[in-house]
Structure 1
Amino acid sequence: MTYCLGIRLRDGLIMISDTRTNAGIDNISVYRKMHILADTDDRLVICMSAGNLSVTQHVLGQLAEGMPSTGMEEQPRKIEHMPSMFRCAQLVGEAVMAAGRELKPALNAASVASGISLLLGGRIGDGPLKLFLIYDAGNFIECGADTPYLQIGATAYGKPILDRAMSYDSTLDEAVKVGLLSFDGTIRSDLSVGPPFDMIIISTDPALPVVRRRIAADDEYLVLLSESWSRMLNDSRAAIPDPPFLQEAGISTR
């Protein structure tokens, strides 16, 4: 299992992924889930993956070599040739479908889970930042302002704080804080997700630098964030009034 989170705000795009992969409790290792599909002067396209590792690697390999020409192009179709992020999402979806047709019959026959999901984000040229969730069937949806984040993998434990604290108008620093708290909540409840985390932050302003960071378990800020959040949660819990029906029954200890 894994956990990947993409946040698309008015001010920019944040993508965070964990690195834990496992094939049983005695076979746990580190594998990068954040993949740079294109990084040139005119584009930065990032993909994060969850699900069957062999299928994911097959998809990434196809995209690196290029999808077959449709007859209208003289060369294989690659991410660096796509004119927009929408066309990138279409190409990645096509690669997912092709990998499924080739690999899934054998995997399903062996009762091996073959599903994958991907988060695709970035910007091409002067176009806007975009974030897409690409499903196992190759279809996809785009992240919108009403719910400015998309998740894949072990999504349940990190979702509550996103629903409560994230909005399209959140600043990048607040969104990074909430995003990391989402990961902190996940790793406390799901042993199949763990650090180090890979993070990339792209501002809406193309003149500002792209921030790329790998966050280890002993990262100073991550430790501070986790300890502060635990303390504040306990303080808040203690400050909430006790249930009045227990007081009325004489059961309250206060």
Structure 2
Amino acid sequence: MTYCLGMLLKDGLVMIADTRTNAGVDNISSYKKLHILEQSEDRTVIACTAGNLSVTQSAFALLAEGLDEDDDSDGPRFLSDMPNMHRVAGLVGEALHIARDEIKETAGEDSQYSFSGSMILGGRFKGRPLRLFHIYKEGNFISCQPDRPFMQIGETKYGKPILDRALEYETPLDDAVKTGLVSFDSTMRSNLSVGRPLDLAILPADESKPVYFRRIEESDDYFNMLSSKWAFALAEARAAIPMPPFMEGFD
């Protein structure tokens, strides 16, 4: 299991992914799930992945090799050939769909494994707005909109309530990063299959500011402080709410 989060805000784009792939008493491993697909002077494209690793790795390999030509192309199609983020999302979705079908066919109809994968794809072409997409296992995709400025894949349910209550399109970038990390802390508290290290990418809306990447390890002082203070704040908030009046007399 995994948890990946993308937040598209007025001030920028934030993407966070955990790295845990197996969780058990004696079997914990990790694998990077936040990938830089393109980074140049004119574009930055980042993907977070969830699901079957063989499917998502195969999709990236297909993108690197180039997808077969179509009616509008004279040869293999590469990410670098795409004119905008919408077309990038279409090509990534096509690669994901092809990889899933090829691996499923190789495994055979009797296979008990799940050959599904999904992605959060974000980025920007120079001079154009930031974009964020959720690419489904079938290869189709939807784009993030200001009325719901975040997208999640993987183990989403534990981290969603804080995002629903605290995140808006106008939320400042630093506050959004803090809210996103609280969402991850809540998820890790409830599900051991999500864990650190976390990979964080921040693309400011101001193109003059650099893209920022950070890996949050188990020893990260800020995250450990955030986790402790969030638990304390929840306990204080619960204690501050009046007791249910209908419970009088049960003491």
SS in structure 2 opposite 1:21?
strand
Q: Deviations over 1:132-170 (max 9, x none)?
A: 000011110000011100000000000000000000000
Q: Which residue of 1 aligns with 2:138?
A: 137
Q: Deviations over 1:146-201 (max 9, x none)?
A: 11000000000000000000000000000000000000000000010000000000
Q: Which amino acid in 2 is paired with 1:42?
A: D
Q: TM-score, normalised by structure 2?
A: 0.96
Cα distance between partner residues in 2 of 1:124 and 1:37: 13
Q: Which residue of 2 aligns with 1:62?
A: 62
Q: Which residue of 1 aligns with 2:2?
A: 2
Q: Deviations over 1:66-118 (max 9, x none)?
A: 11122543442111111100000000111111112211132652210111110
Question: How far 1:47 sits from its partner (Å)?
Answer: 0.6
- Alignment gaps of 5+ in structure 1: none
Does the 8 Å CA contact 2:4/2:154 hold for their aligned counterparts? Answer: yes
Size of the aligned set, in residue pairs, is: 250
Q: Which residue of 2 aligns with 1:154?
A: 155
Q: How has the CA–CA distance of structure 1 residues 192 and 83 changed in structure 2, closer, same or farther, with 3 Å as cutoff?
A: same
Q: Which amino acid in 2 is paired with 1:103?
A: I
SS in structure 1 opposite 2:157?
coil
Q: How has the CA–CA distance of structure 1 residues 122 and 220 changed in structure 2, closer, same or farther, with 3 Å as cutoff?
A: same
Q: Which residue of 2 aligns with 1:37?
A: 37
Q: Which residue of 2 aligns with 1:251?
A: 250
CA RMSD of aligned residues (A): 1.3
- Aligned pairs for 1:182-221 (under 5 A) are 182-221=183-222
Determine what percentage of the aligned residue pairs are the same residue: 53
Cα distance between partner residues in 2 of 1:108 and 1:193: 30
- Alignment gaps of 5+ in structure 2: none
SS in structure 2 opposite 1:207?
coil
Q: How has the CA–CA distance of structure 1 residues 110 and 144 changed in structure 2, closer, same or farther, with 3 Å as cutoff?
A: same
Q: How has the CA–CA distance of structure 1 residues 207 and 107 changed in structure 2, closer, same or farther, with 3 Å as cutoff?
A: farther
Q: How has the CA–CA distance of structure 1 residues 107 and 54 changed in structure 2, closer, same or farther, with 3 Å as cutoff?
A: farther
Question: How far 1:243 sits from its partner (Å)?
Answer: 0.9
Q: Which residue of 2 aligns with 1:15?
A: 15
SS in structure 1 opposite 2:112?
coil
Q: How has the CA–CA distance of structure 1 residues 75 and 206 changed in structure 2, closer, same or farther, with 3 Å as cutoff?
A: same
